[in-house]
Amino acid sequence: MTLPLVLASSSPFRRMLMQNAGLEFQHRAADIDERAVEASLTATDPGEVALALAEAKAKDVAVHFPGALVIGSDQTMSLGDRIYHKARDLAEARENLLSLAGKTHQLNSGVAISKDGEIVWRHVAVARMSVRPFSETFLDYYLERVGEKALSSVGAYQLEGEGIQLFSAIEGDYFTVIGLPMLPLLEALRSLGAVNV
């Protein structure tokens, strides 16, 4: 018998990845203040920030599911030392995208598994995203087309949609880009007895 599995997320994309992998699980959104978690950290490494957020989500939801393996995940986007957050409005999304043009930034996907409030596994995967140089005319056109959807992701882009037009190269797997590194996660779930070997 395998251990019950819970995804600590409201993300339809993360749920889809787990469903597509054939996993049986419940899901529940974590109730944490992400900025407060970030403010409490001494480390400012973007990967460690993503991991701390993933762990906080897993622990928060684990309280409601005794004995279950609870998966928390989070993603940070960074360019050098700067960590980006979701834009508050389209003007901020425009400013963020302009700062990425012609540069390569990182998506840092942290994932952690908690059982009864203890972290039993943690991992960070990194994707390197090269944004092509583009004109402000193109950027205005892009933002007009995607509208408020630009505010739903930290980079103001969705690769599965028109956001793909912003890129010249991507290094890293699809799952890391979406925000749930499935290959290391599945390996961990096998070793923890949550899925059949």
> Is residue 18 in a domain?
yes
Q: Which regions of the chain are under pLDDT 50?
A: none
> Would you say residue 68 lies in a domain?
yes
pLDDT at 41: 83
Is 196 within the bounds of a domain? no
Does residue 135 lie in a domain region? yes
Domain interval for residue 119: 5-191
Domain count, the chain: 1
The whole model's pTM is what?
A: 0.88
Tell me what pLDDT residue 144 has.
Answer: 95
197 lies in some domain: no
> Could you confirm whether 74 is annotated as catalytic?
yes
**Active-site option among 45, 74, 81, 140:** 74
pLDDT tens readout for residues 54-74: 999 999 999 999 999 999 999
Residue 54 lies in a domain: yes
69 in any annotated domain: yes
Output the domain CATH number for residue 151.
3.90.950.10
Q: DSSP secondary structure string, the chain?
A: -PPPEEE----HHHHHHHHHTT---EE------HHHHHHT-S---HHHHHHHHHHHHHHHHHTTSTT-EEEEEEEEEEETTEEE---SSHHHHHHHHHHHTTSEEEEEEEEEEEETTEEEEEEEEEEEEEEPP--HHHHHHHHHHHGGGGGSSTTS--TTTGGGGGEEEEES-HHHHHT--HHHHHHHHHHTTSS--
pLDDT at 1: 55
Is 63 part of a structural domain of the chain?
Answer: yes
Given this model, what pLDDT does residue 86 score? 87
The pLDDT of residue 146: 94
